[in-house]
Each structure stands twice: as structure tokens, then as C-alpha cells.
Chains A and B, each alone.
Chain A
């Protein structure tokens, strides 16, 4: 890796000060499992001059409930999420998603904030600079999206434009199904963004001088039936080709609440409102699950080689909704 300056931040304020001072040329490092890959392959259009270690900021790894919300500090590790009794009891879909990420060694260091902020896995975007030069593309601010004319078998089928890379985060899918929000702080103040709204086709909405501090989920009306399933090519450790989080509530024999979120098909976690409409008010069963699966990606516009992902999504929805 090309060298950089390094600083152990002791507080969020200190980290924000450094981000402001270096104006886009400093990067925060938590678990590092995504950032180090980007640096080794020189993927980023601008190589950082400073890496700010935020693991040294104390007290940002909590997982707790207060009166209204489940609150998770951005530095909580994926192994902490998977092993948390509180999450296992009431927010099982978060545990399932955390366990689905990579292998144990990565879950032991990777954080929830980093999982949400990680960069896309598009093979054109990630093309290593040391193999004949990197590929400048729309996502890097100059050039086309190579996936449109190229090999797009893993790219987006819905909601993309300019860049067809998909959101690689499994936790984003689970959190979006629970109506999760992220708290972003900067010297300008704090703002809360829904996990679903954090992502957009060319980049996430995090500004260069912002810091993800906390992830929260409203406690009221958390549905009891929660499930996360992920389809990968290499079963034990891989990014999702497609993933689905289904969070439902059945009252008096009919669905009273249903949230279906699909990962790996769009620039962010895709909330399948049409599938939810099919379920609500119906009796759980094979047939209604199949209808929901059919409706989920209505309006999708696959590229030349990725229509198969829609079939995968349908199969996963059937399995997550009806067990």
C-alpha cells in the first residue's frame, strides 16, 4: 500500500476536525476490511493523505434499548451483533444478517457503521490500478458505467441510473426492513437519515466531513416474524447476489404488517412495497407468498445479462415469507 499519515482519534470531534482540515483527503478507518482493499488496489479516485483510526474513540460500540428505540453504536462489531442476547430475542433479522456477512475473521473486526458505508463491489469500479491502470467510470466522476455494455450479471435490475453497482451491505437490508435510521454528525450538526435513503446510485449521502455515529430502530411495532436469507455463489463467505429480509406480523390469522426488503438488486436496499400490499390482509400461505414474490420486482428493467437475478429474488421471497 502507498503510505499515508495516520492518526488515532480520541473523540468524534477530533475526527471531524481532521476530516474538515484535510477536505476530502482523509478517510475514517474502523474495521478496515473494506478500506484496506480499496487502498491496496488504488480504487479511490483520490488516494487519502490521512487515515483516521476511529476504533480508539471510546463508548461507540453499545447495543442497547432506551424508551423508544434500539440504539447501536457505529463501532459495534458484527460478531457483537450476532452474539447479542437483546438482538437475538427481539431483532433476530439483524443477527441473521450480521452472521451472513463474510467469515468469522472479518466479523471479528468489521463494524456496523463500516458495513453500511462500504464501497460497492462492481468489478469495473474495483478493477485494480496495478493491472494496467484503474478504470475511470461514472462512479469515480469521469467516464461511463462499464456495466451497461459490459458484463453486468451481478449489477442492478431496478432503481439504478448512471451507475449500476448494487449496495453490498447485508445489514442495510435487515435494518431497512426494521425502519432503521442512521445518525450522521458533522460540525454543522446532526441529521437522521433512513437506512433506505442513505444510498443513491452514484454514492451514499454521507458528506466528506460527516461521521456515522449511531444506528437506531424504533421499538414500537417491531414485527415478531423476522427472517433474512442470502443467495451467494460461494456459500460460506461471499457478498450477496440477492438477499431478502422479510419482517411480518400475523394477527388473527392474517398479515397485519409486512415489510419485504431486497438486497443486491438496486443501489440501496429495495423496499418491495408491491409485495407487501399482496401480503397485508391475507392469510399466510404458499399461494400468497408466490403472489408477493411475483409482484415484488414489478417494473424492474434488467440489463443484458442479469434478468436471472429477478428469478433468484422471487425464490428467496417465497422462502423468507412462507416457511
Chain B
């Protein structure tokens, strides 16, 4: 709720409306419109991430805000990218699952590694959303209790019953710094 968003939605010299979208510390300048590669006002953030920017790590499952599969971080908080309009995300910092990797070495985030070590997935479709929700929790509360972990992940659904291993995976990295 700041004024930053105005500065990020600007008109270019040609009269096209443009917006800048900050994803994983990378700034994208996007044109607002309905031609290919542009951001239509009706595009959701999930759509833009996947179809316009090619960041397909974020998954769209229900597309109704009920499953948590499309969870990303916006200014550090877990949000549902399928229920946000891209055009309203200018000036916000978005982090997707791709942004957790150490950019220089390509090393996985300890949380990602912990999911692998604990086999905290089966089909894996819900996993990026689970990891982003857990990431937001650990940033706010580095040593959560089991109850707090379950509450933070309550908006993420898994139909293959990986939840028990997910809680273990998050517990294993709690209390440790990245």
C-alpha cells in the first residue's frame, strides 16, 4: 500500500503502457496489452510467470485459490499467484521456486535439499508451493513449532499424502540459517 506502484507503471515514448515486474531479483519491463508477450490486465501473476516469463516452476492446479500450488512470495509473504493480477504486482518483489537457488553456484536452498533428503513429495506437483510457503514461514520464524509449521502449510494441498514428510523436512532446517 505504497506509492511505488505508480512509478513502476509508466507510459513509454510510443504511448504503450509499461510495467516493471521484479521476479527473483531480476527486473522485467513488460508492455501492457493483449498482443503475444504482453501483459493483459486480466492476466494473473501465475499466468505471467509461466507463460510470459517461462518460469514454469510455479504450478497452477485449481486456479481458484483453494490448493496453494501456485504459492510465491510477494515482499517476503506467501501469496497465491493465481489470485493476483499481474498488473497490480508492479513495484513488488516476487520470489518463485526458481529464485531459491544460489545464483552463482547453482546450489539448492537448504530447504529444497531437505525436501529431497526426506522424500517430501510423491508426484511433486504441490512441492514448489509447499516449499514457498515453508520459506515464508522460516523467514518470519526461523524456529517454528510443529503446530506452526502445520498452520503455515495449511493452505497447501497434497493429494498423495506427502504431508508427514513435508513437516519433517521443514523441521530439519528450522533453527538453521540459510
A residues within 8 Å of B by Cβ? Answer: 1-6, 8, 10, 29, 32-33, 36-37, 39-40, 51, 53, 55-58, 60-61, 75, 79, 102-106, 108-109, 236-237
Contact = CB atoms under 8 A, between A and B. Distances in A.
Given A40-B63, A55-B1, A75-B1, A105 B80 contact: yes
22 contacts: A1-B42, A3-B41, A3-B42, A6-B41, A6-B85, A8-B88, A32-B88, A33-B65, A33-B83, A36-B83, A36-B85, A51-B41, A53-B87, A56-B6, A58-B2, A61-B1, A103-B156, A106-B65, A106-B80, A108-B77, A109-B74, A237-B154
B178 interface: no
Nearest to A8: B5
B81 to A, nearest CB: 9
Given A51-B41, A104-B151, A237-B154, 5 more contacts: A1-B43, A6-B87, A40-B63, A106-B80, A109-B84
B113 interface: no
B145 interface: no
A1 B80 contact: no
A3 B44 CA distance: 11
B48 to A, nearest CB: 12
Contacts of B63: 40
Nearest to A128: B64
Classify the secondary structure of A's interface with B: loop
Interface of B: 1-3, 5-6, 9, 34, 40-44, 63-66, 68, 71, 74, 77-80, 82-85, 87-88, 133, 136, 151-152, 154-156
A150 B71 CA distance: 36
Nearest to B40: A3
A32 B79 CA distance: 12
A10 B4 CA distance: 12
A252 B42 CA distance: 59
B110 to A, nearest CB: 21
Given A6-B41, A55-B1, A237-B66, A32 B85 contact: yes
A1 B78 CA distance: 23
Contacts of B71: 105
